[in-house]
Amino acid sequence: MLRRMRTTVLKLACVALAACTPATEFPEASEWSLTGPGGPARSFTSAELWQECVGLVGGEQDVEHHNMVGMVDGYLLMPWVPEDGGGGLTFYDFTDPCAPVKVGEAFSDRFRETHTVAVGEVGGRRLLAVDSIREEGDFGGLGLWDITDPTAPFWLSDIDLPGFDYPDAYFFVSLSATFVGDLVYVSAGFLGLFAVDVSDPENPEVVMRYEFEGDAPMLVGATAMVGDVGLAFNAGTAPTWVLDLSSPLDPEPLAYFETEASDADTASYYFATLGGKYGLFARKGSGGGPIVYDLSDPLEPAFVADHHTADGDGGYVFRHEDALFLGDSNFGSVYDFSDPTSLVELQRLYLPGDLDTLTPVGNVVVLSVDSGADPGRGSVVVPWREEPDARPPRAEWLRPADLSENVAPTTRIGVSFDEMIESASVFRGSFRVTDRRGVEVPGRFNAQESTVNFTPDEPLLPGKLYRVTLPVGGIADASGNPLDEEVSWSFRVASE
């Protein structure tokens, strides 16, 4: 009787206040599934380590110009496309990475060399954002593949960017894409940074262009977005911009720095990525090797360490837990990253051609060359650890930061992990955003390489406290290992 009276009083009070929405009951964090079988599950002997075990080949039109690969929805995705256009995608069952099974493939003459695996979901479709080209290079920009069914991917749409001009391979072309919510940010060399609205993916629309100002030229090669912070990386020179993206279509500069090295005040880099809280730069022009910056305080990016290779010349660099993988053009290197202040080269790997890319996938690494490959060896698989990856991912950089005040109501919420994430594992059960009463904030999710972002459907309420929770058993790495420790933090939105 007493319990019934209390319940009645509570209901009447809630009606009177019109503010007692019950806390949301979320699905279990582990209630996600894959279309494909998942990442590498094979063990290797010590004698098999560092030995090439298989080549990866695309379709009949594959000219063996390859870049990075990635796990998407339980399959390995391999683009194969030259910089002047005309290429395709291949999906593999990669559970035995030395005996991959092709499950889907497609070709488009509008597809151009791409440097990211930019995946997003819009209107129930899983999309891959890539670089595009048409009419012999007079037009180009952003293209969208529909990869909802990995066994039957198809080219969906594309949009030209103003000023696009090929055959120049760097200056006035799209170079990479970053998917956040219904926006795709396109890095476009001297043209700057574009935002394309893909809420109607068959009719994408350019909604923002940001041009960088300053004495040093900004050749935008790649971007990384973590919640309210964006990073604009150069392609071939030293500058990097840190941007305030709390208003997604109105970027503001937060910081600017030029990469330095232990032997130089400035050191140019070919490309850069984000791994956890670290910016990872592939040195170029004065030798090679990785350069590492701590970006956890976006206002004060801090040099951490480098490792100079006199005979290297820069490519792409990725992190997998406590290891770095760098394509250095003439060879590839794997580095011990267990102590980020002291990089130790563990192994060199060789493959005929311009070896720019080493992509870690569980206990194997995929080596890829973008010119000069031997037949059937544009990409090859090399085991680097004996047992399949069993370590969960670790969240290193949270944005907005824990206990932040005066956060913009238009902010997005992001996390950067120490390894690549399976996008299918990121959903409302594994990435929970609530107000202080536990009521869900609806929105959309993206996982691109090692970064996960949440975009609210509506602006957050002024002055309100919000909490983010990543439960145990939810977000998983590319091998399917889910978080084994809960991650949670909170922030408050600015008052009007």
pLDDT digit string (tens) for 34-52?
999 999 999 999 999 999 9
What is the per-residue pLDDT across 165-186, written as a single tens digit (0 to 9) for each? 998 878 999 999 999 999 999 9
- Check pLDDT > 60 for residue 489: yes
CA–CA gap between residue 491 and residue 74 (Å, rounded): 34
- Please tell me the distance from the alpha carbon of residue 243 to that of residue 161, in angstroms, as a whole number: 22
Percent of the chain with pLDDT over 90: 92
Q: What is the pTM of this model?
A: 0.94
pLDDT tens, residue by residue, 189-202: 999 999 999 999 99
Half-sphere exposure of 209 (CA within 13 A, CB side): 13
What is the predicted pLDDT for the residue at 1?
38
Q: What is the CATH number of domain 46-383?
A: 2.130.10.10
Hey, which bits of 81-138 come out as E strands? 87-93, 101-108, 111-112, 118-122, 125-134
Q: What's the whole-number mean pLDDT along residues 455-477?
A: 98
- Output the pLDDT for position 4: 40
Q: Is there a common fold for 13-36+392-493 and 46-383? A: no
As a CATH number, domain 13-36+392-493 is 2.60.40.3710
The continuous run of DSSP H or E covering 10 comes out as: helix 2-17
Cα angle 283, 284, 290 (rounded to 5 degrees) comes to 15
Domain positions in the chain: 13-36+392-493, 46-383
In this structure, what token pair is assigned to residue 463?
Answer: 């002055």
Give residue 213's pLDDT. Answer: 84
Q: Which residue has the tokens 């990866």?
A: 56
Phi-psi region of 205 (alpha: psi -120 to 50; beta: other; left: phi over 0): beta
Q: Is 255 in contact with 240 (CB distance < 8 Å)?
A: no
Q: Alpha-carbon distance 450 to 438, whole Å?
A: 27
Strands 395-399 and 269-275: what pairing? unpaired
Q: Which two tokens stand for residue 85?
A: 């256009």
The percent of residues above 70 in pLDDT, for the chain, comes to: 96
Q: What is the rounded distance in angstroms from the CA atom of residue 303 to the CA atom of residue 294?
A: 6
Q: How far apart are CA 406 and CA 332, in angstroms?
A: 45
Taking all residues of the chain, what is their mean pLDDT, rounded to a whole number? 94
Q: Residues, the chain, total?
A: 496
Q: How far apart are the C-alpha atoms of 131 and 120, rounded to whole Å?
A: 15
